[in-house]
Structure 1
Amino acid sequence: MNFRDISYIFLLLAMLAEILGTIGGFGSSVFFVPIANFYFDFQSVLGLTAIYHLSSNVSKIVLFKKGIDKRLLFNIGIPSVIFVIIGGFLTKYVNSQYLEIILGVFLVGFSLLFLIKKNLIIKPNNKNAITGGILSGFSAGLLGTGGAIRGLTMAAFNLEKSVFIATSAFIDFLIDFTRTFVYFQNGYIHKHDIIYLPFLIVIGFVGTMIGKRILTYIPQDKFKKISLTLILIIGIVTVLPKLMNWG
């Protein structure tokens, strides 16, 4: 593969995914994975997403590092890392289409719940944090994206936006660092896809910077609503094509 074979439309969409992921606070994979599925096989998407996300999350950690919540980092991060390994190994044996439908329904249902019941807040206790970490880590390993579940969990905690983004990015970094080794072991990181990585690394940094600049114009009270609305859209986009294909 050479540079003439590169899809620049895909790279442009990847940039948009990074900007939206930064604004929403849950990372670009929730948008990047569905986009990449139009251009690559599912295994290549998993491998590219893990490596691309490493650079994306490093940039978020650098730009938002003052906001990291160490308690949430511990309670969500550790179970996420454990279950991303489990999910990553299960990709060899599980039909992902059924799981994507379940994920989409879950995201639509819970995002609507918190959008409708605006005063509903889940307490940021250990039980809720650990449960969110388990679900997001397992989903990230199995489907390539778990940021929406983690974003939904953290949005429910009603966190200040810099704390939300910094903590989410650090957890995401731990997840991506771990699953990169799992996917490599599974043979998902292919030589013919490597040509995209330099572009995606640059996009990860530039998209994060653009997203951060846009965030300065978004009031804190609007941030949670935007995050939940984006998650709702992700859920609909995830589940609708699968249901239409069944029909």
Structure 2
Amino acid sequence: MVSRYLPIFIILSLIAEILGTVGGFGSSVFFVPVANFFFDFQSVLGITALYHLSSNISKIAIFKKGFDKKIVLFLGIPAIIFVSIGAYFSKYFNPKILTYILGSFLVILSSLFLIFKKLKVNPDKKNAIIGGALSGLSAGLLGTGGAIRGITLSAFKLNKNTFIATSAIIDLGVDSTRAVIYFFNGYMHKHDLYLVPILLVISVLGTWIGKKILDKVSQEQFRNFVLILILGIGIISLVF
């Protein structure tokens, strides 16, 4: 079905990659809703995992100058454990209900941070573990957990390059894990594999464009942009 609308799919995927790079939490939060217009939900999970692997490698290569090792450890390990659980149980849950729950959570949390500028989550080990577990579970069940990870990482007030590099490294572990489980769940189909090289090119180009935009954005603008994007994702999840 997508071959007929391939140019539209490519343009929307590129926009998703640019926004995901500028937002700092990966393209899947935008790519999953886009892909849902062209594929069934299980195929979307499989394609997203493969696409995101190349997307994260691109981000690590372009933003390689800095990442926070402690956050990678405390947020990344729970994320990898819980994405395995979410990916395994994804075939048993109604994705619509889960999407509404996630949307409500994102709208409430991002609104609080935007309205109450001084509100902050303590950047400690406990909150990193909780954020990692929730983002991993969401990624496994719904195909995207970047927004939850973005909320968690924003609490640590990392500079934008470290934010993106740290998020990408965690996401690489998450996507590698769920890709294996999605494969055994039968979510990856041979007739969709022609999209992989196309999406690889899109991920590199979109990350490069996103990096150029970020070079012109201040740290405070970056944080506000992250929160506004998360709010938008939450609203879209509830409306569509």
Task: Give the TM-score normalised by the residue count of structure 2.
Answer: 0.98
C-alpha displacement of 1:240: 1.4
Q: Does the Cα contact within 8 Å between 1:6 and 1:196 map onto a contact in 2?
A: no
1:124 match:
123
Q: Does the Cα contact within 8 Å between 1:19 and 1:208 map onto a contact in 2?
A: yes
1:219 match:
218
Amino acid at match of 1:221: E
Q: Does the Cα contact within 8 Å between 1:77 and 1:171 map onto a contact in 2?
A: yes
**Structure 1 segment 4-43 matched on structure 2, within 5 A:** 5=4, 7-43=6-42
1:61 match:
60
Distance 1:231 1:6 in 2: 28
| 1:22-78 alpha-carbon deviations (Å, 9 max, x no partner) | 000000000000010000000110000000000100011111122210000000000
Distance 2:203 2:5 in 1: 17
C-alpha displacement of 1:21: 0.3
| 1:85-132 alpha-carbon deviations (Å, 9 max, x no partner) | 000011111111111000000000000000011111212110000000
Distance 2:197 2:58 in 1: 15
Amino acid at match of 1:229: I
Q: Does the Cα contact within 8 Å between 1:114 and 1:156 map onto a contact in 2?
A: no
Identity value in percent: 59
Distance 1:38 1:172 in 2: 24
- The answer to which of 119-128 and 20-29 deviates more is 119-128
1:172 match:
171
Task: Give the TM-score normalised by the residue count of structure 1.
Answer: 0.95
1:46 match:
45
1:239 match:
238
Distance 1:67 1:239 in 2: 35
Q: Does the Cα contact within 8 Å between 1:84 and 1:139 map onto a contact in 2?
A: yes
For the pair 1:144 / 2:147, whether they are aligned, the reply is no
Distance 1:152 1:13 in 2: 24
Distance 2:56 2:3 in 1: 29
Amino acid at match of 1:151: G
C-alpha displacement of 1:8: 1.1
1:89 match:
88
Determine helix, strand or coil for the equivalent of 1:66.
coil
1:103 match:
102
Amino acid at match of 1:127: K
Q: Does the Cα contact within 8 Å between 1:121 and 1:158 map onto a contact in 2?
A: no
Distance 1:155 1:66 in 2: 19
Closer, same or farther: CA 72–120 of 1 in aligned 2, 3 Å? same
Amino acid at match of 1:173: L
C-alpha displacement of 1:6: 5.5
Distance 1:226 1:32 in 2: 18
Amino acid at match of 2:207: T
Closer, same or farther: CA 235–172 of 1 in aligned 2, 3 Å? same
Distance 2:141 2:176 in 1: 15
C-alpha displacement of 1:156: 2.4
For the pair 1:113 / 2:82, whether they are aligned, the reply is no
Q: Which runs of 5+ in 2 are unaligned?
A: none
Amino acid at match of 1:149: I
Q: Which runs of 5+ in 1 are unaligned?
A: 242-247
- The answer to which of 147-156 and 25-34 deviates more is 147-156
| 1:156-205 alpha-carbon deviations (Å, 9 max, x no partner) | 22221111100000000000011000000000001111111110011011
Determine helix, strand or coil for the equivalent of 2:117.
coil
CA RMSD after TM alignment: 1.2
